[in-house]
Structure 1
Amino acid sequence: MLDLNFIRKNPDKVKQALIDLNTNAPIDQILEDDAKRRATLKEVEALRAERNAGSKAIGALMRQGKKEEAEAQKKQMSQIGGQIDALNEQLKEVEARLNHNLLLVPNMPLPEVPVGPDDSHNVVVAEKGQKRRVDFQIRPHWETGEERDLIDFERGVKLSGSRFYVLKGKAAKLQRALITWMLDVHTEQHGYIEVYPPFVVREHCLIGTGSLPKFGDNLYRDIEDDLWLIPTAEVPVTNLYREEILDEDQLPINHVAYTPCFRREKMSAGRDVRGIKRGHQFDKVEMVKFVAPENGRAELDNLLNDAEDICRLLNLPYRIVQMCTGDLSF
């Protein structure tokens, strides 16, 4: 969500960014509603001032014994009150539409982000680690996992439906061990503070991280209690200090959290969803930093290095990719 004043001053720049990001947002409607909102507010303020002056006049007329004139003034003030009520209703409608549309506007990509419509235009910045060569045919995990009784897809479906699975034996133990080990690396070696947040959040948390309204169809929701299952630990952790003012000397605040994550994955149509890829439930260890704006880039580099450490310690070859505009989510 961009600052409305920025959109007002840079409409063409924002529209070009939307083209680069391969997404849509009704910028013209936003500007129209913004102008209508400001004009309506000005009109309401003028009518309120007129009503206040009229109310004082009524008091003066009553003190002077001019009851008929006072009654006429009261009728006029009543009409003005009706006009104000009508304008306020219009204002509510305009503001609701304006706020909804503003939530559809993504962040502006930085100048160094490569422009492209999809992930085929991502740029590989670096390749690190030694790729291992093997003298046997590599088989997919969904075959070897079932053969070794490590992944049970059939019972996962029986329990919860498609794209759920059960990890068993050493696979379950490995999953648990990796989570604990990653948390220990980030807390003991990288200085992060571990948090264990709720796995369900209120709607405003998802709005704050940009997950709503854009990804609403991809999320699970408890309608009765109006709570949402989190799609990533980023949602509750980012909202930890929501509506709080932090002292600059408290920064940076570095948090790491493990949570299960839940996604309906409706947006994965046409992608490879075999095995445990694109599952509706999966585990993540997430890092989140709260930093001063001027230190954002340096802290991002630190976070990237901390993530790379995990790959280095596991002796996994990896790539660093600069995502193009069309592959950015927010």
Structure 2
Amino acid sequence: MLDIKWIRDNEEEFNSLLHKRGIKLDSNVILELDEEKRQLTTLVQQFQQAKNTKSKRLAGLKGKSNKEFEEVKRDVEHINEKLAELSTRISQSDKLQNIMDNLPNLPAKDVPYGTDESMNKIIRTFKEPNIIENAKEHFELGNELGMMDFEQTAKISGSRFVTLKGGLARLQRAIISFMLDTHTEEFEFEEMSPPVLVRPEAMYNTGQLPKLAEDSYVTEDGKFRLIPTGEVPLTNMVADSILKREDLPIRYVAYTECFRSEAGSAGRDTRGMIRNHQFGKVELVTITAPEESNLEHERMLNAAEEILKRLELPYRVMLLCTGDMGFQAQKTFDLEVWLPGQKKYREISSISNCGDFQARRMKARYREFGATNTTFVHTLNGSGLAVGRTIVAILENYQNADGSITIPEVLRPYMGGESTIQRIEK
């Protein structure tokens, strides 16, 4: 959530940054509603003070049947009526809250302006793209191996689900273990195992609600939502907390199953594992002080890149433009891995610095050394990496002419020393 006080003090900058994100809303609309709400709040406080004074006076007159007692009693009753009226007006005046809840984070100053992904900026590349003659896409390779089942799975769960078998199921487990070991042992992330069902408040805290409500699944009683990303439970580990400065930064990593309705993606990536309703992801989350968040952003990017480097997969780092960033982010790097079967780069990780946007929603603060006041933390998150898309990238980049898949060397210790995945003979 944005800081309303900052908006009051920086109207022109706010308007400019918001317009860069494609939001056509003027600060005057927000500030007028804010002024009205503050006036109502001030009136409530004044009436409450008057009520306290009158109530004390009334208590002193209790038991005395006189004119003054009756007058003070009527005054208290009148004040109660006004307080009820003002409270109703404040509770009904939710337009400001609705606007604030649906405003995205403002972009950092070094984020390029753009309207869509075509205007993202290439930062660097790793390895030249593999050009494989007659390269097949991952779902063709998986089907030919007899280890990637979409048809029978559709009978169980519908479209956009997959069942992995044999060598590919083991490859998935190997990838998860490799990623978790790397992030915990070399990048000092603490491994977590969080729930995948969370309360709506947790989704609101990280910005998935109310703006992105259609993207997630909700239980029939409305009490829980399935997480669309491990970012939700991990970031909420510090909700409603006042942290010590010496405990920062806090770094979490977890493998979770994630669930997305893929609302609005009809017709996109309907075949294969690129865009499924259920998918696995190793998620990185960092909680830090404001002055360290940019360095932590680069550190998190480096951790995610290291996975791709050790898998020897060609990739590029993109700085997202203002029109392509996620709702919560103020700056985002995407890692895009090369897929020979598709002959294009595809996103495999987004690493975002959210500043204090999520912290304001979830009331996560820290206290500096020796200070009495508190400051909102900064939160960061990123995939390290999306497991399904990593399988896709390995299949397409390590495919062999005989239909087998070479296992990246770094994964072989997790695969019992095997060097290839061979077709299942029926």
2:280 pairs, out of 279, 283, 288, with: 283
Aligned equivalents of 1:51 and 1:251: distance in 2? 45
- The alpha carbon displacement at 1:143 in A equals 2.2
1:113 pairs, out of 111, 114, 120, with: 111
Aligned equivalents of 1:60 and 1:292: distance in 2? 52
Aligned equivalents of 1:207 and 1:24: distance in 2? 23
Change (3 A) 1:62 1:181: closer
Moved more, 238-247 or 307-316: 238-247
- The alpha carbon displacement at 1:91 in A equals 1.2
Query: Which residue in the other structure is 2:45 paired with?
Result: 45
**8 Å Cα contact 1:25/1:101 also seen in 2:** no
- The alpha carbon displacement at 1:132 in A equals 2.6
Q: Which amino acid aligns with 1:99?
A: Q
- The alpha carbon displacement at 1:88 in A equals 1.0
Aligned equivalents of 1:25 and 1:165: distance in 2? 42
Aligned equivalents of 1:61 and 1:185: distance in 2? 74
- The alpha carbon displacement at 1:59 in A equals 6.1
State how 1:191-202 maps to structure 2 within 5 Å. Answer: 191-202=188-199
Change (3 A) 1:225 1:46: closer
- Residue 73 (structure 2) pairs with residue 104 (structure 1): no
Q: Which amino acid aligns with 2:156?
A: L
- Residue 120 (structure 2) pairs with residue 126 (structure 1): no
Residue by residue over 1:117-152, the C-alpha shift from the partner in whole angstroms, topping out at 9 and shown as x without a partner, is: 111100111111233333x21122222322322211
Residue by residue over 1:51-83, the C-alpha shift from the partner in whole angstroms, topping out at 9 and shown as x without a partner, is: 3444455567779x7723432442233122211
Change (3 A) 1:24 1:140: farther
Change (3 A) 1:45 1:243: closer
Change (3 A) 1:279 1:43: same
Moved more, 266-275 or 304-313: 266-275
Matched residues, number: 327
State how 1:200-211 maps to structure 2 within 5 Å. Answer: 200-211=197-208
- The alpha carbon displacement at 1:217 in A equals 0.6
- The alpha carbon displacement at 1:32 in A equals 2.5
Query: Which residue in the other structure is 1:325 paired with?
Result: 322
Q: SS where residue 267 of structure 1 aligns?
A: coil
Query: Which residue in the other structure is 2:4 paired with?
Result: 4
- Residue 218 (structure 2) pairs with residue 216 (structure 1): no
Query: Which residue in the other structure is 1:265 paired with?
Result: 262
Moved more, 113-122 or 29-38: 29-38
- Residue 224 (structure 2) pairs with residue 227 (structure 1): yes
Aligned equivalents of 2:192 and 2:182: distance in 1? 14
Aligned equivalents of 1:39 and 1:251: distance in 2? 38
**8 Å Cα contact 2:15/2:26 also seen in 1:** no
Aligned equivalents of 2:60 and 2:237: distance in 1? 55
- The alpha carbon displacement at 1:7 in A equals 1.7
Query: Which residue in the other structure is 2:184 paired with?
Result: 187
- Residue 151 (structure 2) pairs with residue 154 (structure 1): yes
Q: SS where residue 254 of structure 1 aligns?
A: strand
Query: Percent identity of the aligned residues?
Result: 39
Flag the structure with higher strand content. Answer: 2
Query: Which residue in the other structure is 2:20 paired with?
Result: 20
Change (3 A) 1:49 1:318: same
Flag the structure with higher helix content. Answer: 1
Q: Which amino acid aligns with 1:295?
A: E
2:139 pairs, out of 142, 165, 181, with: 142
Q: SS where residue 241 of structure 2 aligns?
A: coil
Change (3 A) 1:279 1:26: farther
Aligned equivalents of 1:61 and 1:170: distance in 2? 85
Q: SS where residue 242 of structure 2 aligns?
A: coil
Query: Which residue in the other structure is 2:234 paired with?
Result: 237
Aligned equivalents of 1:199 and 1:162: distance in 2? 21
Aligned equivalents of 1:270 and 1:13: distance in 2? 39
Q: Which structure is richer in relative contact order (CA contacts within 8 A, separation 6 or more)?
A: 1
- The alpha carbon displacement at 1:191 in A equals 2.1
- The alpha carbon displacement at 1:276 in A equals 1.2
Aligned equivalents of 2:134 and 2:158: distance in 1? 31
User: Unmatched 5+ residue regions in structure 2?
Assistant: 328-426
Aligned equivalents of 2:274 and 2:150: distance in 1? 12
Q: Which amino acid aligns with 2:139?
A: W
Aligned equivalents of 1:271 and 1:27: distance in 2? 36
Aligned equivalents of 1:240 and 1:61: distance in 2? 52
Residue by residue over 1:11-35, the C-alpha shift from the partner in whole angstroms, topping out at 9 and shown as x without a partner, is: 3322322221124667544323211
**8 Å Cα contact 1:25/1:105 also seen in 2:** no
